Amino acid sequence: MDVRILLLVSAFNGLTQRVWSRLGELGHDVGVELAPTFGSPEELTAAVEKIDPDLILAPFLKHRVPREVWDRWTTVVVHPGPVGDRGPSSLDHAILDGRDRWGVTALSTVEEMDAGPVWATATFAMPAPPVAKSALYNGPVADAAMACVEEVLRKVEAGEEPTAADDLPREVPGTGELPLLRRTAFELDWSRPATELARVVAAADGAPGAPATVAGRRYCLFDAAVEAEDVPGAEPGTVVGHDGDAVALATGRGTLWVTYAATLAERRGTKLPAAWVLDGHDAPYREAPAELAESTYTRDGDVGYLTLRSYSGAMHTAQCHRLTTAVEKALTENTRVLVVRGTEHAFSNGIHLGAIEAAADPAAEAWANIQAIDDLCEAIARADQLTVAAFTASAGAGGVMTGLCADVVLARDGVVLNPYYDMGIFGSELHTWTVAARLGEKGADRLLDAKLPVSAAGALELGLVDAVGPRDAAAFDAWLAERANHLASPAGYAEAAAAASTRVPERPLSYHRTIELAEMARDLFDDRRGFAAQRRDFLRKAAPAATPANLRFA
């Protein structure tokens, strides 16, 4: 049966978007309300009463639900911890404590947080070595949450009831109520081994960040990797090397590399490439660990694989230039197919809002950034080889459009695409050609105007992508290799080339780039749509004033 489902959330984040997309695909009537937009419990209760849903789901909720709501409507919260776990810092504790297994629980809302009866639970193996909290949340946690959501729906439709937590086995032993971890809990002690410090940085990822003192100044550090070797004679906590945006710091044992940092005074500054923030000008060049490489190229016969890596998916001007050079170099290889892919945890979200905001002239930096990412798009679009874009992780705005410049577009199951611009800018990345070439003019207008996320399955149905591979990362890599090898074969190449020929632009690429940049110039320099204010609100995670109308029930 169709269920009227309200998603009550603190933000329309990646997991919420994935749940929203999936519920819609299953045929349910789904609407969203952002909890921060309500000034009082009474306002929230009145809004829910007006909607009168069959079920309230909260895949990402940091706000308390009023008793008047959960007493009347079935309200299920998705908690990022296994049965028995309670508290607001579950993933932080799981990473810090070196747990080898963790889970997700969907439970009814009651007076005590995370203490209600359980509708569904799923556990998973924790990655080793540890990954950043955001990667854990968007990967294994999100996958387990999706399994829980579908089980909740099955039980609701079948008229089943949840089970008391005490009546369920503890698949992860030693769980209980754990305290909120504030920033001081993640302070980096440089006398400790680099492996321990990297775990702390991973646990503090996103928020609150791992605070540290470097050369007498206070910072928050992000995106770390370990190098086993020490630098002889280096004082722990000093900068001992750099490679691109990454900076190396000496520790009690081994070397800690970080790619992002923020100044820390009364409040945390904008996250920026570590080499821009930490004072390491006198440090020598050292090669960063392979897992932090901005791009890597490998070859398998007639197929070349170029993997692009960015910490948060944002790509600043210099990075775009380097990635364009990497694409152009990969295209000099005598392969038949070039696959441009992201990592398991990130693809791209387009231009770097943080770098733009931090610039002395934000409008000029934004202008340089958009032109640099356009160069990357053109390098892919103009390639003589058959090009394949693989959305290995979720992508947004210019990141989606960059991928659409390839001849063949593939996606990993569970990926969510946000193929539109919603920050007070027209956008570029040749989207006036690529989207219409795949969806037609009217279809492109509908997609861009709707400003809604699209699941991998939804993108396939629209024709935005050509195929969807397995969710499991290793299985997807094997599937991608099989597809790429087929495309390199005479039959596969001819088929893909014929399909790509139907999307050849009628006008030169420079035409599309010119009209896009003409619009962007007005958005960036005249700020006609409020890009500056919207950018700042996004970076500061300002609470939304209202739920967007396109997310609410019709």
Separation of alpha carbons 248 and 274, rounded Å:
10
Residue 215 is part of a domain; what is its CATH number? Answer: 3.10.25.10
> Is 445 part of any domain?
yes
Residue 321 and residue 262 share a domain: no
Q: What pLDDT was estimated at residue 1?
A: 67
Nearest to 189 by CA among 212, 209, 219, 220: 212
What is the greatest pairwise CA distance in the chain?
69
E-strand ranges in 316-455 read 337-341, 350-351, 386-391, 395-396, 408-412, 416-418, 454-455
3-state SS track over 276-298: HHCCCCCCCECCCCHHHCCEEEE
Residue 221 and residue 252 share a domain: yes
Separation of alpha carbons 242 and 258, rounded Å:
10
Q: Give the pLDDT of the chain (554 residues) as one tens digit per residue.
A: 689 999 999 999 999 999 999 999 999 999 999 999 999 999 999 999 999 999 999 999 999 999 999 999 999 999 999 999 999 999 999 999 999 999 999 999 988 777 899 999 999 999 999 999 999 999 999 999 999 999 999 999 999 999 999 999 999 999 999 999 999 999 999 999 999 999 999 999 999 999 999 999 999 999 999 999 999 999 999 999 999 999 999 999 999 999 999 999 878 899 999 999 998 778 899 999 999 999 999 999 999 999 999 998 999 999 999 999 999 999 999 999 999 999 999 999 999 999 999 999 999 999 999 999 999 999 999 999 999 999 999 999 999 999 999 999 999 999 999 999 999 999 999 999 999 999 999 999 999 999 999 999 999 999 999 999 999 999 999 999 999 999 999 999 999 999 999 999 999 999 999 999 999 999 999 999 999 999 999 999 998 999 999 999 97
Residue 407 and residue 532 share a domain: yes
Residue 228 and residue 299 share a domain: no
Domain end call among 265, 291, 317: 291
Host H or E run for residue 195: helix 194-203
Residue 302 and residue 273 share a domain: no
Residue 298 is part of a domain; what is its CATH number? Answer: 3.90.226.10
Size of the chain, expressed as the number of residues it contains: 554
Domain count, the chain: 3
Handedness of CA 550, 533, 539, 44 (dihedral sign): negative
> Is 349 part of any domain?
yes
> Is 542 part of any domain?
no
> Is 546 part of any domain?
no
Q: What is the DSSP string of 92-106?
A: HHHHHTT-SEEEEEE
E-strand ranges in 71-143 read 75-79, 101-108, 118-125
Residue 148 and residue 34 share a domain: yes
Counting other chains too, the contacts that 44-47 makes at CB distance below 8 Å and 24 or more residues apart are 44/69, 45/69
Would you call 324 helix, strand, or coil by DSSP? Answer: helix
- Domain span at residue 501 reads 294-537
Residue 345 and residue 223 share a domain: no
Would you call 4 helix, strand, or coil by DSSP? Answer: strand
Residue 210 and residue 87 share a domain: no
Residue 68 is part of a domain; what is its CATH number? Answer: 3.40.50.170
Domain end call among 167, 202, 218: 167
Domain end call among 258, 291, 324: 291
> Is 157 part of any domain?
yes
Separation of alpha carbons 256 and 210, rounded Å:
13
Q: What pLDDT was estimated at residue 112?
A: 79
Q: What pLDDT was estimated at residue 267?
A: 83
Separation of alpha carbons 39 and 44, rounded Å:
8
Cα separations (Å) of 443 from 222, 272, 321, 357, 463? 40, 37, 32, 33, 10
Residue 221 and residue 280 share a domain: yes
Q: Which residues contact 14 (CB under 8 A, 6 or more apart)?
A: 138, 142, 394, 416
Q: Which two tokens stand for residue 40?
A: 């009082």
Determine whether 155 is exposed, middle or buried from the number of CB atoms within 10 Å of its CB (0-12, 13-18, 19+).
middle
Strand-pair category, 454-455 with 416-418: antiparallel
Handedness of CA 141, 147, 152, 153 (dihedral sign): positive
Cis peptide before 208 (omega within 30 of 0): yes
Residue 300 and residue 270 share a domain: no
For the chain, the helix, strand and coil percentages under 3-state DSSP, each to the nearest 5: 40, 20, 40
Backbone angles phi, psi at 223, to 5 degrees: 60, 80
Separation of alpha carbons 414 and 139, rounded Å:
9
Q: Which two tokens stand for residue 545?
A: 């004033």
Would you call 185 helix, strand, or coil by DSSP? Answer: helix
Q: What angle do CA 482, 485, 488 make, to 5 degrees?
A: 155
> Is 495 part of any domain?
yes
Structure pTM?
A: 0.96
Residue 28 and residue 150 share a domain: yes
Amino acid at 217: R
Q: Which residues contact 361 (CB under 8 A, 6 or more apart)?
A: none
Residue 358 and residue 487 share a domain: yes
> Is 456 part of any domain?
yes
> Is 177 part of any domain?
no
